[in-house]
Amino acid sequence: MRHYCLYVALLLGVTACEQDPSVVYKENVDIEGGKWYVKNTPSFRFTITNAAVPYDLYYTVRNGLAYPYYNLYLTRYLTDEKGHEIESRLDELLLMDPKTGQPRGKGLGDLYDNKVVLKRAYRFPKPGTYILRIKQYMRQDPLPDLVSVGISVEKSSQ
């Protein structure tokens, strides 16, 4: 019985550590005190080795149920390693259903994780290092009840 329990624990530990092979980069930044100030602009540095492959990029946002809005406006800035801006854009993320107020993300208790498409089947101009900066673009400063924000870069299935 002891060996069986050890085997099960080992198997669970190994499978929990497996990562999705399509994920090239994934990082989240905690927002201090759950209050996102406009001046706080998280920056994510990642490397693309194959520019011929399309990638899906996602925002990852963790918010509390007490977040006062159904949406979140973010401005994103994508630059290459030399600091040349490739694009900047304002995006609206729907964190809750506008009519019902029900959270759209996956949650446990009063925290919800949202994974929202930033770009689908995007082809980077060339292999290299890229930097994506994210800035909250809401009228309230600080923006309350946002716990973390991040990005995920994944090989596209398209």
Prior bond of 142 cis (ω within 30°): yes
* Segments making up each domain of the chain, as ranges: 22-155
pTM of the model: 0.85
Share of the chain above pLDDT 90, in %: 82
Q: What is the pLDDT of residue 17?
A: 52
CA distances to 65, 85, 118 from 155, rounded to whole Å, are 31, 22, 14
Q: How does pLDDT run along the chain (158 residues), one tens digit per residue?
A: 444 433 434 344 444 455 788 899 999 999 999 999 999 999 999 999 999 999 999 999 999 999 999 999 999 999 999 999 999 999 999 999 999 988 999 998 899 999 999 999 999 999 999 999 999 999 999 999 999 999 999 999 87
Q: In sequence order, which residues have a C-beta less than 8 Å from that of residue 147 and are 6 or more positions away? A: 30, 31, 34, 62, 63, 64, 111
Q: Which two tokens stand for residue 97?
A: 């259903």
Q: Which amino acid is at 69?
A: Y
CA–centroid distance for 96 within its chain: 16
Token pair for residue 48?
């693309």
Domain 22-155 has CATH 3.40.50.300: no
Among 113, 134, 145, smallest CA distance to 31 is for 145
Residues 6+ away with beta carbon under 8 Å from 156:
53, 54, 55, 56, 120, 121, 122
